[in-house]
Structure 1
Amino acid sequence: MSASLPHEFPNPTPPGAIEVKEYPEYRAVTYSHSGNVQQASQVAFNPLYRHISTNQIAMTTPVEVRYLDGLSTEVTTAQTAEVSFLYPNRDIWPQTLTDEVKVTDYPPMTVVSIGIQGAYSWSNYEQHLQRLQGWLNEHSEYVISGPPRRLLYNSPMTPEASKLSEVQIPIAGVNP
């Protein structure tokens, strides 16, 4: 990883592993993209980078992409994705904020996560999202509590085969 994780964030899930993880509250700057969600992270990069540069906020890893239209990977119609650069800690507040982005505080969450090594391709996302859905089908003690997200840990200059990412689905325990 080329940058540090936000305060109290867990380490990335190892490639191929599936695990349940707890995330603390965190603050992020977010760009909302409507259209082809496969392009969301590329479209969002410049406005997000301008924000952290202008406000002298340290770059962290990962970049977070939330797919707000749920578990569907169908991309023939316009969908919405939110792409976020995560602040190093929740005590930071920007001096300058443009209409392109918003600053959001996210509550703690529990997720089921699968680690990935390789390209940040849409097919890689789809394949690993399906594996998580299969895992959830076998673990009825959990229910889905939010839209899926992808965590991207490496810079665009990292060779495709070396890139690390995760696909995650927020979950909650089922009360007996």
Structure 2
Amino acid sequence: FGFWKLFNHIKAREIAMTSPVEMEYNIDIGAPSSRVAGWAMSFLYRTPDLGPTGVSGAVVVEDEQRMTVISIGFQGGYGVKQVTERVGLLKQQLENMANCELAGKPRALFYNGPEVRSAKRWGEVQIPIRKIAPREKSAPTDTVEKTPTS
């Protein structure tokens, strides 16, 4: 349903359909396994001058903030399983990055339309991150008990 609302929005404004289609997923990254609780679909305008921001019927047009992501590409269908598997891989990668932390919801970028066979489609899953002070491993400390002397 979301696709057609977006498609009609850009068609009415004579905006060419751009690639990719963005899907933002509501996934609890901290959970042992990734499950999708909801999603939002977006078309990305090529330039900000294609239209004003604001609400237009069922569509919200907004500017995206710059972001830094880690990502992984894939070939195949655009199902939730493809996304959740890659979110798991990215989560493992993020755990190994001592100077970064999660900074937003996972998203997927889908580059091909329905005319491309599922097995040939190309997509990408991203997790927004931000730099932090490097996490230090705790060094073992020797505990010494001192008894007060009189």
TM-score (norm 2): 0.80
Distance (Å, rounded) in 2 between the aligned partners of 1:167 and 1:69: 13
Structure 2 counterpart of 1:168, from 126, 134, 145:
126
Distance (Å, rounded) in 2 between the aligned partners of 1:70 and 1:63: 22
Moved more, 116-125 or 45-54: 116-125
Aligned AA (1:108): R
Would you say 1:66 and 2:27 are equivalent positions?
Answer: no
Aligned AA (1:167): V
Correspondences of 1:37-76 after superposition (within 5 Å): 43-71=1-29, 73-75=34-36
Aligned AA (1:128): R
Aligned AA (1:102): V
Matched position secondary structure for 1:116: strand
Q: Structure 2: which 5+ residue stretches go unaligned? A: 135-150
Identity of aligned residues (%): 37
Higher normalized contact order (CA 8 Å, seq sep 6+, divided by chain length):
1
Distance (Å, rounded) in 2 between the aligned partners of 1:65 and 1:155: 14
Structure 2 counterpart of 1:89, from 33, 44, 47:
47
Question: Would the aligned equivalents of 1:142 and 1:173 in 2 still touch at CA under 8 Å?
Answer: yes
Structure 1 counterpart of 2:116, from 158, 163, 172:
158
Aligned AA (2:124): E
Moved over 3 A (4+): none
Question: Would the aligned equivalents of 1:58 and 1:88 in 2 still touch at CA under 8 Å?
Answer: no
Correspondences of 1:10-159 after superposition (within 5 Å): 43-71=1-29, 73-75=34-36, 79-93=37-51, 98-159=56-117
Question: What is the aligned partner in structure 2 of residue 30 from structure 1?
Answer: none
1:69 positional shift? 4.6
Q: Structure 1: which 5+ residue stretches go unaligned? A: 1-42
Alignment: residue pair count: 131
Q: Deviations over 1:116-155 (max 9, x none)?
A: 1111121111111110011111112110000100100000
Distance (Å, rounded) in 1 between the aligned partners of 2:83 and 2:18: 22
Bigger radius of gyration: 2
Question: How well do the aligned residues superpose, as a CA RMSD in angstroms?
Answer: 2.0
